[in-house]
Structure 1
Amino acid sequence: MGNSQSPPADPLFVLASRAFTKQELDELRALFVSLSAQSQSDSRFVSPSVFQAYYGINGALCERMFNLVTQRRGDGMLTFEDLVVAKAVYEKGTPQEIEEFIYQLCDVSGDGLLRRSDLEAVLKSIQDTVFSTKNTEHGLSPHQDFVSIFVNAASFSERLGDSNENVMSATDFRVWCNAVPCVRKFLRGLLTPSEPGGVGRQVPRLQYPKTLRSDMLLMTREYAWHVGGLLSPDELEEWRLLYHSALNGQSFNTFLGSLSDAGGPTILVIRDKEGYIYGGYGSQPWEKHSSFYGDMKSFLFQLFPKASIFRPTGANANLQWCAVNFSSDGIPNGVGFGGRANHFGLFLSSSFDQGHTFPCSTFDSPCLSKASLILPDVIECWGIVAGGALGENPEPAKGTILERFKEDRNMLKLVGLAGSSD
């Protein structure tokens, strides 16, 4: 007796055990027995190397996770009690407990302060874990700016004593996690088995014409992982390039024609003449409307020089905009997201050679570029292939686009959404 399998007197373990059903505890015990056998520890503990191999975490983040899970003992031995206590907090704790655990996890130096260097180490570990060479597809190399674009989205507002260094406050960290849900999703899924499509590690397959070189694409696997932070696993299976301005020409009509069979969510990506990259996720097809439409699944995002996502706030229903061949100045022709007519969160005019981006309450988003007026350099649109072939709907829409448009507007009027203002 007296080994790690015996009922311990540790009150923390006893309390943590109550968070699990008997079956869950049995499964955890079976996992521990398997991993401890691989560690050749006579069923006493799991070694750091076996822990790393099973959970597939690379770099400083793995060392920090092992240190936290073993309650900072520094003895290199993960016991069954450690595993139960860690999972009780990390997976079944209150939102505040989980947030605190993730905050401590990102403090890789372990000094109680979240510095820029800590965040950089965490992101480098994520890059090495999710985008390892063996997972690279289509010759797309790891994004050179992966670490910097996510760090650039963070604030370090807490002054450290008399030094010139600022560190991340708990509020800063919470805001950052909200802006980069892909990172939070990854950090929440670290104690699940290592799989290519595991929690926070799923990256869409990017399908595009062979006539287009991969280095011509705006969307990289790293950017796709970021944008996919708010999407379901089904929506992260495959994304297909529907339109690229270098391939299809910078034409609004060609753009709409290329998307006519999409029948589902799309991702619009723009790089402007200033080098900024940003866009929007449209949950509804791009079809002619005389006012805003869409639902609360749409969002705006930035990709470069920083990576952030901006969700709908509920302030209004001005989500998607697609106006075609209208003659009224109050109905600007083009595609857009958020804000109000002529003052959008993001807008591309039907000429496709200019647009604008303003701060808007729809998504609580800032100006997405260096200046409000944007001059597009490259425009892409990707269709999400989920649950079947792209454009394949369980119940095909009936009638023309204009007929469906009238029906949609009547329904919106009934629920009071039509004509909502910024």
Structure 2
Amino acid sequence: MAGYWKSESGGSRRLDSWIVPRVILAHHHQPSEVTGLPPDEEEAATEQRAAKTWLQDAATPGGVSTDKWRVWWRGNTLFHELVELALRKSLFPTGSQVTQLLVQGVRAENLRSPDLQSTDIAPHQRLLTECSGWAVSREMPPESRKAWTCVYSTRRDGRSWSTFQASIESKGALLLVVKEKQHNTFGAYIDSEIKKGPSWHGNSQNFLFGNGVVYRTTGFNDHYQYFNYGKETLPNGLGVGGQLGHFGLWIDCGFVLGSSSPAATFASPRLSAQSDFTIDAVEVWLVRPSKLFDGASIAGGAPSVVETHAEAAALLELANRPMYSRNNI
């Protein structure tokens, strides 16, 4: 995962690199071995042995190997930042001058969790938790990290393609979260409006995520998103990345089955346990409304664009131009 915020000073990082090995060493209480090395080299060797033992302890039998753990540690910048933040708060009291100096340059919006607006869904029924929402939001553009509205949930709205389609089409930037029957949860961030059509559209801000990893666009192709329905010769459903018939993530319009394949668009592996999977639950969060909408109008609380421009609407009607419903732009 990409970095989320960076301190302008390297002092805290040097402090972390000094203190973490010593914390590990203190937990193991390993006696020094007589090596004949100079004191500095002997200390470094002891720290390396302690760290190696700690890595071996962290790798459960039959589970994650030390090599895989090292790869995860090196690639998970988010965890590094959380450790750094925890160390800062542990070592320096909140409000102290040192703390204020350490957090200078850190943008508040990069630390704030999005406001998840889903009062009609119990937290234990949501696929997206506060923690997972915060983690995935770090990968989004800043304007998509504020208030999120759950516009569709199978657990609230039932399993309906027509409801799903109406909830996502031309609404704005979306976060799609899918849970398969085999309990894996994965999804996609879709940055630009979803529009019905036979061709790919979207932009390079899109990404896929699963198993704690975010897969960003590679530039290999521009197959960012595909959305179609009511066609006989083309796939009907929502797809992100990959190729027609071999999508990085695919939700079929039957709304029972989905699929996931390795996708060069994001250099992503298969996200589901098997290529074809049975849908258990789906959630869609509107993370940034399009310019034609605002959060209140989507929720039904504010007038639509047509209603706020009644004069222009009347002229269009006089000219016999087709009009959208005042309640459904």
Query: Does the TM-score normalized on the shorter chain lie above 0.5?
Result: yes
| 1:269 corresponds to 2:184 | no
- Residue 390 of structure 1 aligns with an amino acid whose one-letter code is G
Match of 1:174 in 2: 74
Q: Is the 8 A contact 1:261 1:391 kept in 2?
A: no
Q: Which of 180, 201, 217 is the matching residue for 2:111?
A: 201
Contact 1:296 1:312 in 2 (8 A): yes
Query: Which amino acid is the alignment partner of residue 246 of structure 2?
Result: H
The alignment status of 1:223 with 2:132, answered yes or no, reads yes
Q: Which of the residues 53, 61, 79 maps onto 1:183?
A: 79
Aligned residues: 254
Partner residue, 1:349: 252
Cα contact 1:332–1:342 (8 A) shared by 2: yes
Shift of 1:345: 0.5
Identify the residue that residue 156 of structure 1 maps to in structure 2. 66
Any idea what the Cα deviations from partners look like across 1:92-143, whole Å, max 9, x if unmatched? xxxxxx7x8877776552634766967999xxxxxxxxxxxxxxxxxxxxxx
- Correspondence list, 1:353-392, <5 A: 353-385=256-288, 389-390=294-295
What RMSD, in angstroms, separates the aligned Cα atoms of the two structures? 4.0
Counterpart of 1:109, as a letter, is: I
> Residues 327 and 173 (structure 1 numbering): CA distance in 2 closer, same or farther, change over 3 Å?
same
2:245 and 2:10 map into 1 onto residues whose CA distance is: 48
Q: 1:232 to 1:379 in 2, by over 3 A?
A: same
Quote the residue 2:228 is aligned against.
323
Deviation at 1:321, TM superposition (A): 1.1
Say if 2:8 and 2:105, in contact at 8 Å, map to a contact too.
no
Distance of 2:153 and 2:57 partners within structure 1: 33
* TM-superposed deviation, 1:390: 2.7
Counterpart residue type for residue 258 of structure 2? G
* Equivalence for 2:186: 278
What are the within-5 Å matches in structure 2 for residues 35-184 of structure 1?
A: 88-89=9-10, 107=21, 109=24, 111-112=47-48, 156-157=66-67, 168=70, 173-177=73-77, 182-184=78-80
Amino acid at match of 1:156: T
- Answering whether residue 153 of structure 2 is matched by residue 250 of structure 1, we say no
Query: The residue matched to 1:230 in structure 2 has which SS?
Result: coil
Equivalent position amino acid for 1:319 in 2: Y
Higher relative contact order (CA 8 A, sep 6+): 2
1:151-188 deviation per Cα after TM superposition (whole angstroms, max 9, x unaligned): x9x8732xxxxxxxx862xx6543333xxxx4355467
Following the alignment from structure 2 to structure 1, what is the Cα–Cα distance between the partners of residues 125 and 69? 37
> Paired residue for 1:192, among 103, 110, 120?
103
SS in 2 for 1:247: helix
Q: Deviations over 1:290-335 (max 9, x none)?
A: 1111101000011xxx31111111111111111121111xx20000
- Distance in 2 of aligned mates of 1:221 and 1:313: 29
1:235 counterpart residue number: 144
State the SS of the aligned residue for 1:224. Answer: helix
Q: Provide the C-alpha distance between the structure 2 equivalents of 1:119 and 1:293, rounded to a whole number of angstroms.
A: 46
1:258: how far off?
A: 1.7
C-alpha change, 1:173 and 1:285, in structure 2 (3 Å) is same
Gap change, CA 1:372 and 1:104, over 3 Å in 2: farther
Q: Secondary structure at the match of 1:297?
A: coil
1:323–1:334: 8 Å Cα contact kept in structure 2?
Answer: yes
CA distance 1:345–1:260, shift in 2 (3 Å) = closer
Closer, same or farther in 2 for the Cα pair 1:89/1:377, shift >3 Å? Answer: same
State the alpha-carbon separation in 2 of the partners of residues 349 and 176 from structure 1: 32
Q: Structure 2, unaligned stretches of length 5 or more? A: 1-6, 26-46, 89-101, 299-304, 307-320, 323-329
| Partner of residue 91, structure 2 | none
Write out per-residue CA displacement over residues 22-79 of structure 1, whole angstroms, 9 at most, x where no aligned residue: xxxxxxxxxxxxxxxxxxxxxxxxxxxxxxxxxxxxxxxxxxxxxxxxxxxxxxxxxx
Cα distance in structure 1, aligned partners of 2:57 and 2:194: 38
State the 1:285 CA deviation.
1.7
Aligned partner of 2:92 in structure 1 is none
Q: Contact 1:267–1:281 at 8 Å: present in 2 too?
A: yes
Q: In the TM superposition, what is the alpha-carbon distance from 1:369 to its structure 2 partner?
A: 1.4
> 2:197 corresponds to which residue?
289
TM-score, normalised relative to structure 1: 0.52
Preserved CA contact (<8 Å) 1:288 1:323: yes
1 CA distance for matches of 2:129 and 2:185?
Answer: 12
Contact 2:56 2:66 in 1 (8 A): no
* Residue identity opposite 2:103 in structure 1: T
Matches for 1:304-319 after TM superposition, within 5 Å: 306-319=211-224
- Aligned identity (percent) is 24
Separation in 2, partners of 1:116, 1:309 = 30
